[in-house]
A and B are shown apart, each in its own frame.
Chain A
Amino acid sequence: MGAMANHKIFLKLFKNPLSRKWSERRYRQGLIHFFEALSLHVKAGFALSYSWPETIASLEESICERLRGDLASKTKEAELEETVGEILKRLSRSCWIASYQIWFGVVSELYESGAPLSQAVEAIATTLRREQERDLEAHCRSLPMKVNVTLMIFFLPPTFLFLFGPLVLEILSQFK
């Protein structure tokens, strides 16, 4: 058990700090497609209990694994499967990206009260898409600065090493 924990700590140390950000983006991208497909179903008049699993099934291969696991129904005690209402409640409490819990909370409330869902689902898809757009814009804006800083940190020192390294070695050899 202890060895397992050490192994996990070791893996965490070497984990790419950007991987969380990339996973979040993939999660959001999948969520956008999910809500768009769901809004299509709901708009056509299908019930959410039918539309939810149908949409997951249709997008199964193209959305990321974590999102698929979150959206899918989980088996409870006595081998009972979660209903859509329960999935929504679970996501409104513990969605992987905390800021999206509110969206699932809204859909859950509407679903429980029997109110129409199409507009809410469409609004969520639009909001998520705008968020993704803003993120992309910010990424493109910050790229030149990131590149310049990296070039200065990692590529200037080797040049200086080449220019002044032999000189430093010469000086050091004088002291010997």
Chain B
Amino acid sequence: MLLQEVSILQKMGVMTVLFYPCFVFLVVLIISFCALKALGSFSHYIAWREFQAAQGWLGGPSVLRFWFNGLWLLTLLIGFCVSWIWTGKLSFGILSILLVPLVFRYFVRYQEHRWRRSIETSSLSFFNALLGLIQSGRGLSSALFDLAQSQSTPFGKKLKKHLHNYEEGRGLILILSQFRNKMGLPTLENYLSTIEMAYSQGLEIAPLLEKMIPTLEMEQHYKIKTEELRHQMAIQAILAFVMPWFLGGVLFLFNRELFQSVTNKGGTQMIGAMALMIEGVGIWVLWQITKFS
């Protein structure tokens, strides 16, 4: 039986043997991921329509998390089924269980990060315009309404959705606090709560905005700068991480005999594991030292 399998493998060639499982695995992974994304978007739409949650993708109230967990399980089942039907084995499904959540988590995080960043960036122009309107003699509520109606920036659009509640009879302070809580933006949260507080106490908003805008500008500038530096660092780290494995791959391609003689020796696995461990620690250290707070 074993000899038969070995002869089949010899007929197929080493590259095919290596390539085929990778291909199957990748397809199972992509199908599982796409299913999760499509079902997730649909559920988010329903949840948003039902509960009026002005949240980012899946970053919202518990109802969204409930949907998300349910869909996660469903997608993993899909991964299992695809793997079973195609290859007659569950092993690829198990791999998708390990990798789909991980990939998907980072994908969702990245999407939310982009969404938050677009709101934060657009908030600056919004506050500048708000200051202009207040200095020209408008009240806070009317200035907010006018800007939310006229500005099509992400910040303006989100605020507009919340200001709908004002027409339904809710107070501006309540709307602003709901908006602040639902956005979950730590940089803007402090400023929005200060505006809320000033409005509720009947204090002047213009001097507050005058002080707030340069500070917000500075904070955003440094945040973007730090993120850019971290991004560059991530590219460097990925290249450095891949380098030893790339060298191994080159050796496999150009000098297969030497590669096999090396891998057949005892202790090679230990070297590989050690290299992977050191690199893992390196990635963790890099992540920690580049963080600001």
Contact = CB atoms under 8 A, between A and B. Distances in A.
Interface of A: 16, 18, 22, 25-26, 29-30, 33, 36-37, 40-41, 43-44, 46, 54-55, 58-59, 61-63, 129, 133, 136-137, 139-140, 143-144, 146-147, 150-151, 153-159, 161-163, 165-166, 169-170, 173
Contacts of A158: 244, 274-276, 278-279
Nearest to A148: B236
Contacts of B201: 41, 44, 46, 54
Contacts of B120: none
B153 interface: no
A61 B181 CA distance: 9
Most chain B C-beta atoms within 10 Å of own C-beta, residue among A26, A144, A155: A155
B282 A151 contact: yes
A26 B276 CA distance: 34
Main SS class of interface, A: helix
Interface in B134-170: none
Contacts of A44: 201, 203-204
Contacts of A40: 194, 197-198, 203, 207-208
A22 B291 contact: yes
Interface residues of B, number: 56
Contacts, number: 144
A62 B279 contact: no
Given A143-B229, A154-B279, A166 B268 contact: yes
A155 B291 contact: no
B94 interface: no
Nearest to B188: A62
B16 interface: no
A167 B262 CA distance: 9
Contacts of A46: 201
Contact of B265 (A139, A151, A173): A173
Interface string B159-203: 000000000000000000000010000100111011011101101
B181 to A, nearest CB: 7
Contact of B233 (A30, A63, A143): A143
B7 interface: no
A136 to B, nearest CB: 4
Contacts of B278: 154-155, 157-158, 161
Contact of A161 (B198, B244, B262, B283): B244
Contacts of B247: 159, 162-163
Contact of B281 (A61, A154, A166): A154
